[in-house]
């Protein structure tokens, strides 16, 4: 299979999955019992006003026509109007999404760092490497929200090192990412405050993915170490660290890239619980406020955005992996 065809197949799969997700959300909306008319004009409106609202919203159209209108709205960024905030859901998500993206990105960087340390320490047998790996094993068995609560008890309540909730630094900057906006503002105190607020929730979110990435990378390193070119490098007198850095790591990243993308996608699901524990103010907070009042447009919008991010991340990883290793596109 040529690389171009491989990319085409992956993009077609992406569109198919997004189409399936849109159909599921539409069907859930149909059976949810939510009344957009009452949410829009109130429960005491006259019958004429109700009829006019139903016609305006297209609720009397056949189901296939309503689904096409629903998909059309998704394609144009029209996710409907929130029953709770009375604002377009796209605007609400745009306001809350940067906080979620910042937390996920910082957590992913931590997961990659911890995963690499896990794999390399296993190969080089560093001092206290066993303790580090043991802590990572234990942490990965606990739910993310439990890690978050434990972190608050230890690092906030007992030690007083880190804040327990909220976001710090510049939160109204141009990007919406408090750490980056604090750095762009040239404010070291705000940058430190932003980092202090993000590190604990990011670490709670990163521990499980870090172990998954580290295990795959360690397996790839072990296999690469048995290859002929590594034996040749060792025979030339290179140290174990030089061999690992110059000949092993870059040839062992293919499977780790796929696992990293998979874990990044999972993070977009797990981040909602972590945001609730730390009152982070991202999509998790928006969703938790929308669920009790049956704000289906908001719930569907968040689900579609997070599902789309998950599918897009994994598709991008497949494409990048095929570029790094042409054998994948051929097979």
* DSSP string of 173-192, one letter each residue: SSSS-HHHHHHHTT-HHHHH
Distance CA 243, CA 266 (A): 33
What is the CATH classification number for the domain harbouring 143? 1.10.3720.10
Q: What is the chain's Cα-based Rg?
A: 24
253: Cβ contacts below 8 Å, ≥ 6 apart: 217, 220, 324
Domain residues for the domain of 36 are 3-75
**Number of domains, the chain:** 2
Please check whether residues 212 and 311 belong to one and the same domain: yes
Would you say residue 289 has pLDDT above 70?
A: yes
- Give the helix/strand (H/E) hosting 117: helix 89-124
Angle at 247 between CA 126 and CA 111, to 5 degrees: 55
Give the least confident one: 32-36, 121-125, 129-133, 190-194. 32-36
Q: Which of 75, 108, 132 is the last residue before a domain boundary?
A: 75
Distance CA 252, CA 269 (A): 28
pLDDT digits (tens, 9 = 90+) for 38-57: 656 555 666 766 676 666 66
Please check whether residues 203 and 70 belong to one and the same domain: no
101: Cβ contacts below 8 Å, ≥ 6 apart: 177
Q: Is 88 helix (H, G, I), strand (E, B) or coil?
A: strand
Residue 91: inside a domain, yes or no? no
Residue 86: inside a domain, yes or no? no
* Arithmetic mean of pLDDT, 117-123: 80
What pLDDT, on the 0 to 100 scale, is given for residue 153? 92
pLDDT digits (tens, 9 = 90+) for 126-181: 677 778 878 888 888 888 888 889 989 998 889 888 888 888 877 777 888 888 88
Residue 308: inside a domain, yes or no? yes
Please check whether residues 233 and 280 belong to one and the same domain: yes
* Arithmetic mean of pLDDT, 237-244: 63
Please check whether residues 111 and 48 belong to one and the same domain: no
Residue 129: inside a domain, yes or no? yes
Would you say residue 119 has pLDDT above 80?
A: yes
What's the pTM value of the predicted model, to 2 decimals? 0.80
Percent of the chain having pLDDT more than 70?
76
How many C-beta atoms lie closer than 10 Å to residue 329's C-beta? 20
Mean pLDDT of the chain: 79
Is the backbone of residue 33 left (phi > 0), alpha (psi -120 to 50) or beta? Answer: left
Residue 180: inside a domain, yes or no? yes
């Amino acid at each position: 299979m040529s690389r171009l065809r491989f990319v085409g197949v992956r993009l077609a799969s992406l569109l198919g999955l997004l189409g399936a997700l849109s159909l599921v959300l539409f069907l859930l909306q149909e059976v949810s019992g939510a009344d957009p008319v009452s949410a829009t004009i109130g429960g005491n409106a006259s019958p004429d006003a109700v009829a006019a609202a139903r016609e305006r919203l297209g609720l009397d159209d056949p189901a296939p026509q309503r689904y096409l209108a629903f998909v059309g709205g998704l394609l144009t960024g029209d996710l409907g109007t929130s029953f709770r905030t009375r604002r377009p859901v796209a605007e609400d998500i745009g306001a809350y999404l940067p906080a979620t993206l910042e937390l996920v990105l910082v957590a992913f960087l931590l997961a990659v760092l911890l995963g690499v340390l896990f794999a390399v320490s296993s190969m080089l047998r560093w001092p206290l490497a066993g303790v580090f790996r043991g802590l990572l094993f234990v942490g990965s068995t606990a739910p993310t929200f439990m890690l978050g609560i434990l972190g608050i008890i230890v690092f906030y309540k007992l030690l007083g090192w880190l804040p327990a909730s909220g976001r710090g630094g510049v939160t109204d900057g141009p990007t919406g990412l408090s750490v980056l906006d604090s750095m762009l503002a040239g404010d070291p105190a705000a940058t430190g405050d932003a980092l202090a607020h993000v590190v604990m929730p990011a670490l709670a979110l990163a521990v499980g993915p870090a172990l998954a990435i580290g295990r795959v990378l360690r397996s790839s390193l072990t296999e690469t170490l048995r290859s002929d070119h590594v034996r040749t490098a060792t025979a030339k007198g290179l140290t174990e660290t030089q061999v690992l850095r110059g000949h092993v790591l870059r040839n062992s990243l293919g499977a780790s890239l796929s696992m990293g993308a998979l874990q990044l996608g999972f993070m977009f699901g797990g981040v909602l619980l972590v945001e609730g524990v730390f009152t982070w103010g991202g999509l998790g907070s928006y969703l938790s406020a929308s669920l009790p009042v049956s704000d289906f447009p908001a719930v569907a919008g968040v689900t579609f955005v997070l599902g789309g991010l998950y599918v897009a991340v994994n598709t991008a990883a497949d494409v990048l992996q095929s570029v790094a290793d042409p054998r994948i596109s051929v097979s």
